[in-house]
């Protein structure tokens, strides 16, 4: 009989001390399920909004819509790498994203930051402005998330922008082949 009473006391102590931890863990899990995911973890689609005349801007850096982060080009001649920075402290938020590939002759023509401030888009084109390429990156890991491959195929990319939910990237470019 004493053994049963001892076991009962242990069970009661377990419930008293551990139940609040389980309740807190369940509440935290429920809260996290509703938390927004980075755009990089959501499917991203592309929308080519215009094919026509234009000129790419000097894109050494771009700020997020809320001004909290900045995407900066690091390297000579608008190529090499990009990296996200905290706008207030100028401290890096993620790794360097390497854009250059051996043997490629290109330049960056546009940059964009998604509303989550973690997902970024880069547009590159060759030096004769007859092709363009858009790539989406997870700015916190440096990993490629998506790439626009056409059709329609792109010429020089003049601008990039994310939709308010970060799921669609709008592209404005010239015609492929520079025509």
pLDDT in tens, the chain (179 residues): 445 555 556 555 655 655 555 455 554 444 444 444 444 456 788 888 766 666 656 678 899 999 999 999 887 655 678 999 999 999 999 999 988 666 666 778 889 999 999 999 998 877 665 678 899 999 999 999 999 977 788 888 888 999 999 999 999 887 776 55
Query: Which of 127, 116, 106, 121 lies closest to 160 in space, CA to CA?
Result: 121
Same domain for 31 and 45?
no
Same domain for 57 and 19?
no
Same domain for 5 and 66?
no
Same domain for 5 and 68?
no
Q: How many CB atoms lie within 10 A of CB 97?
A: 22
Q: Which CATH number does the domain housing residue 76 bear? A: 2.130.10.10
Residue 147's domain comprises: 39-178
Same domain for 23 and 100?
no
Query: Which of 137, 141, 60, 143 lies closest to 94 in space, CA to CA?
Result: 141
The count of structural domains within the chain is 2
How many angstroms separate the Cα of 70 from the Cα of each of 45, 73, 98, 104, 162?
23, 10, 17, 26, 15
pLDDT for 121 equals 94
Same domain for 90 and 4?
no
pTM here is: 0.71
Beta-bridge mates of residue 171: 48, 160
């Amino acid at each position: 009989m004493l053994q049963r009473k001892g076991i009962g006391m242990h069970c009661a102590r377990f419930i008293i001390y551990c139940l609040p931890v389980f309740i807190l863990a369940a509440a935290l899990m429920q809260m996290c399920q509703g938390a927004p995911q980075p755009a990089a973890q959501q499917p991203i689609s592309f929308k080519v909004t215009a094919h026509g005349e234009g000129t790419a801007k000097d894109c050494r850096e771009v700020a997020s819509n809320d001004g909290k982060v900045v995407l900066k080009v690091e390297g000579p001649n608008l190529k090499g790498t990009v990296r996200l920075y905290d706008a207030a402290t100028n401290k890096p938020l993620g790794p360097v994203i390497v854009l250059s590939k051996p043997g490629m002759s290109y330049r960056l023509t546009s940059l964009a930051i998604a509303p989550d401030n973690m997902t970024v888009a880069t547009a590159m084109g060759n030096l004769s402005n007859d092709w363009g390429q858009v790539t989406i990156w997870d700015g916190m890991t440096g990993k490629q998330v998506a790439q626009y491959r056409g059709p329609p195929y792109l010429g020089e990319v003049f601008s990039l922008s994310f939709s308010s939910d970060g799921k669609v990237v709008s592209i404005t470019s010239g015609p492929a082949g520079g025509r």
